[in-house]
Amino acid sequence: MPLSTIASLGPLAEKTVIVRCDLNVPLKDGVITDDGRVRASLGTISALLEQRAKVVVISHLGRPKGEPDPQFSLAPAAARLGELLGQDVPLAHDTVGPSAKSLVAALEPGRVVVLENLRFNPGETSKVDAEREAFAAELAAMGDAVVSDGFGVVHRKQASVYDLAKQLPAAAGQLVEAEVEVLARLIDDVERPYAVVLGGSKVSDKLGVIENLLPRVDRLVIGGGMVFTFLAAKGYAVGSSLLERDQIETVKAQIAEAERRGVRLVLPVDITVADRFAADAAYEHVPADAIESSSFGASGIGLDIGPASADAFAAAIADAKTVFWNGPAGVFEFEQFAAGTRAIAEALTKIGGLSVVGGGDSAAAVRTLGFSDDQFGHISTGGGASLELLEGKRLPGLEVLGW
């Protein structure tokens, strides 16, 4: 079934619309280091303001323990949202308390207010249905309709994502609509050759995606910390590199399945090995099947794919018509271990088809490395949500919207 969209809510002039955004921005000393998620929320909010709706923005930030915690306040996000919208955007000091109710009651058409971090209330993430429903009811009492536009949380059965949409007329915002449309193309409407590039630290986080996509892809490119479990599965020693020993047999089976299906599995041919996990660590490039041959021996730790692998990865991407990438190839936060991730990003900017950056660390990486969003076909705002969608899972925040 198609998603319910904003048009299904009818005229919204002078109506109070609660918009569940994802303003979970990275902060350093209280300053936003990447405002991508705030910018991603602008389309839906602006569309509602054009209808002269009263917009109440709700979101979480970080992982507070169900009570107010100043380091997780949405104040920086509310301030940035106001700057981008060109209007003052007040922040309530609570979620459903006196401050929130007062600001919402005073809200004028065409204006926006932000409620404080939803996770300051234990009802938001409670595993008890009745507790989530009670919190959702308090939120619902302040609005006439709800728009779900936080794609990064649609895989969570939380009060603002799931229960609230059962208590008010509900629809997907422009961001969620666009995310679902693009990611569905990676499963059901693929232009070939189709390459999937996976990285990040743990292979266990990606097993479901690999299993679901193996019947669909032409090439599977593996980098990041997860690659060392693949190398170990091939019988290679990996030194002190990240390794999930309990997943080796599973990975062996997936390697065999890729071969059986004729999927081209691209693994690194060389690794950048360091003497320690640090930005200024000493490092060497060594063959992927001889990691312990570096001068660091068995204590060496792989922190990036090597230069020959970066070229091979780029070549595997170059003529693809569809590419999905999730997870950096190395520790991109350290400049000397960012080359592999940069090579992947650069290759994605040049393909002649659909390139999708799968959110999370991948999205952070492309921005950190100086790429702009418009150099890619689509940058997802939800790493975990995009992965679960590609695993074939049903996502509570989408099911409640009719999808």
Residues with catalytic function: 37, 202, 360, 384
Residue indicated by tokens 């507070």: 64
Q: Does 276 carry a binding-site annotation? A: no
Q: Is 61 annotated as a binding residue?
A: yes
3-state secondary structure of 379: strand
Contact 348, 317 (CB under 8 A): yes
Q: Is 62 annotated as a binding residue?
A: yes
**Residue 143 marked in a binding site:** no
Q: Report whether 23 belongs to an annotated binding site.
A: yes
Give whole-number Cα distances, 390 to 114, 183, 320, 324, 380, in Å: 32, 7, 19, 10, 12
**Do the annotations mark residue 110 as ligand-binding?**
no
Confirm or deny that 60 is annotated as ligand binding. yes
Q: Is the peptide bond before 90 cis (omega within 30 degrees of 0)?
A: no
Q: Are 31 and 198 in contact (CB under 8 A)?
A: no
Residues 331 and 347: their CA atoms lie apart, in Å, by 18
Read off the amino acid at residue 241. Answer: S
Name the residue among 293, 262, 272 with its Cα closest to residue 342. 272
What does DSSP assign to residue 391? T
Helix axes 42-50, 174-188, angle to 10 degrees: 130
Q: Judge whether 360 is annotated as a binding position.
A: yes
**Nearest-angstrom CA–CA distance, 14 and 108:** 8
Q: Is 119 annotated as a binding residue?
A: yes
Angle between helices 307-318 and 339-348 (to 10 degrees): 10
285 annotated binding-site participant: no
Phi, psi values for residue 398, rounded to 5°: -95, -40
In whole angstroms, give the CA distance from residue 24 to residue 22. Answer: 5
**In 3-state terms, what secondary structure has residue 274?**
strand
Task: Characterize the bridge pairing of strands 31-32 and 27-28.
Answer: antiparallel
Torsion of CA 18, 20, 26, 28, to 10 degrees: 20
Instruction: Identify whether the C-beta of residue 55 lies closer than 8 Å to the C-beta of residue 17.
Output: yes
Q: 188 CB contacts (<8 Å, ≥6 apart)?
A: none
**Distance of alpha carbon 303 from alpha carbon 290, whole angstroms:** 15
Check the annotation: does 361 bind a ligand: yes
Sorted by sequence, the CB contacts under 8 Å of residue 6 that are 6+ apart come out as: 12, 44, 47, 48, 147, 171, 172, 173, 174
The reply, when asked if residue 362 is annotated as ligand binding, is yes
- State whether residue 361 is helix, strand or coil: helix
- 205 annotated as belonging to a binding site for a ligand: no
Task: Could you list the residues known to form a binding site for ATP, using ranges.
Answer: 206, 302, 333, 359-362
Task: Could you list the residues known to form a binding site for (2R)-3-phosphoglycerate, using ranges.
Answer: 37, 119, 156
Task: Could you list the residues known to form a binding site for substrate, using ranges.
Answer: 22-24, 37, 60-63, 119, 156
Task: Could you list the residues known to form a binding site, using ranges.
Answer: 22-24, 37, 60-63, 119, 156, 206, 302, 333, 359-362
